[in-house]
Structure formats: structure tokens, C-alpha cells
Homo-oligomer: A and B are copies of this chain.
């Protein structure tokens, strides 16, 4: 009966006057009556129902365009299908968020490792649980090349990861590997880089599991010192008569590329698995 001014309508529905004008413009919700001489909009209370519907569909993640299109077809039959589509969309978003959550927690853990790492050059013995990795073989010896080559190799790893639909979340946690055989031959040769993936990530080409081992670890704060520090680590192994029982791993714990003039500035954990006596 009584007409609602745009301000009153907005107030009743916890929205803004501009929003109502915008919906009017889109044709989503036209006021019941517009005074010709002044252009003033007047709504009927029953139009709240339509606004409710708009808000609800918006809440389900639909765009105003889609809502309008659906209103225009007036097709009740298509409602369940539309709802199922939304359900699928929501499910997908939830999975993404879950990945993001994991990524954040990995980063938090890494920064913690970084902050509490033993002094530079200190060697420590640690039990490290099994990890799953996604490997990429560049066929080029990383240690014989420059930081620039390393960047190119990382790009290739990522390209591979993208092709194989690995989530973004994993991209923050890379490393390189020297196979046990190479170590035994006394060669500091690695052609492989990897990403850490979730324990529940599906097994496929390139994915492998590093078993739980005791590791001798040393921390290193520059790409350019890796070789030297790894040398220290292997010297230590020899001196103490340890037996290497798996692959050597260089894990990038933290990257700080924003400092030092855009240069990749890393904090790495070098680790070699040994048989404990």
C-alpha cells in the first residue's frame, strides 16, 4: 500500500541507496513506481522478496548478471542444476583455500626454522620424517653453473609443475638433490630440482618419497656458499666414519629476494642421511 522511498527501502534491507539505484540501472530490481516529474523512485514492501532473492543468490557466489539472466528466464526447473553448480564451485574454492592454508603453515614453519637455526656452519644431527617430492631433471649440473642457470632450471620445474596441475601452494618450497651414487663416486653433481608436496599428493611420474632418516645438517645463507658448506658436511661424515645411506638434499628454507637488489637471497638447509651407530 504505502510506497517506500529509496532511503527507507535501503534501510529496511540493510543496503545502500546507491546499491538500489545500481540494481535499478541493471534492471535487476525496478522500483514499482517512479514519479515522472521528479524521477523519484518508490518501492513496494513486497519487492523486498526479490531483493532477498538477489542477496541470497549473491551470497551463493552468483554474479548480478547471472542473477538477472536467471530472473529473466523465469525457469523454476533450472534451479536445482544452478544450485549444484554453485555447490561444485564452492567445493573447488574450499580445496583451493585448503591448499593456501597448508602453504601458509609451511611458510610459518620455515621461517621458524630460519629464526631458530643453529649458527652458520654448525653441524647438527636430526631425525627427519619421510617427505614426498616432485622432481624435475634438468639434465644440467646445477653446481657447475651460475645462479642464472639455476633460475632457468627453476622456471622449467615450474613449467612442468603447471603442466601437471600442481597447486601454486607447493611453489614456495624447493630444493635440489645429489643422488647417493654420485656421492659414492665422489662427484658433486646434481641435475635435479624438486618441490615438496603433500604426503597425500597422488603418486605419478616425477613424484617420489624420501624415507625417514637421520640427517647430518648444516645451514647456509647463500647460494654461493652451498658447495663449500656441503664440503664441510661431507668432511665431517668422513672424519666420523659415518655411512651415507641416501641422497643429499639441499632444501631452500627461506627466500628473501626483496633485499640485496633483487638478487635471490636464500637460506638453505643442506642435509645428508647417515646410518647412526
Residues of A that sit less than 8 Å from B by CB:
1, 12-14, 32, 44-50, 52-53, 55-56, 59-61, 70-71, 74, 76, 79-80, 83-84, 86-87, 90-91, 93-94, 97-98, 100-101, 103-105, 107-108, 111-112, 115, 147-148, 151-152, 154-155, 158-159, 162, 168-169, 171-172, 255-259, 262-264
Q: How far is the CB of A50 from chain B (nearest CB, A)?
A: 5
Q: How far is the CA of A60 from the CA of B70 in the complex (A)?
A: 34
A-B contact pairs, 30 of them (CB 8 A): A12-B152, A14-B158, A45-B148, A45-B152, A46-B147, A46-B148, A48-B151, A48-B154, A50-B257, A53-B257, A55-B171, A56-B171, A59-B100, A59-B103, A59-B169, A60-B100, A60-B103, A60-B104, A60-B107, A74-B258, A74-B259, A80-B111, A83-B108, A87-B105, A87-B108, A90-B100, A90-B101, A91-B101, A93-B97, A94-B101
CA A98 to CA B91, docked complex, whole Å: 9
CB <8 Å contact, B45 and A256:
no
Q: Could you tell me the distance in whole angstroms from the C-beta of A122 to the nearest C-beta in chain B? A: 21
Q: Which of B94, B100, B159, B172 contacts A98 (CB 8 A)?
A: B94
| Smallest CB gap from A149: residue in B | B45
Q: Give the number of times this chain occurs in the complex, counting copies.
A: 2
Judging by beta carbons under 8 Å apart, are B255 and A100 in contact?
no
Complex Cα–Cα for A171 and B70 (A):
20
Q: Which residue of B lies closest to A108 (CB)?
A: B83
Interface pair A46/B263, CB less than 8 Å apart: yes
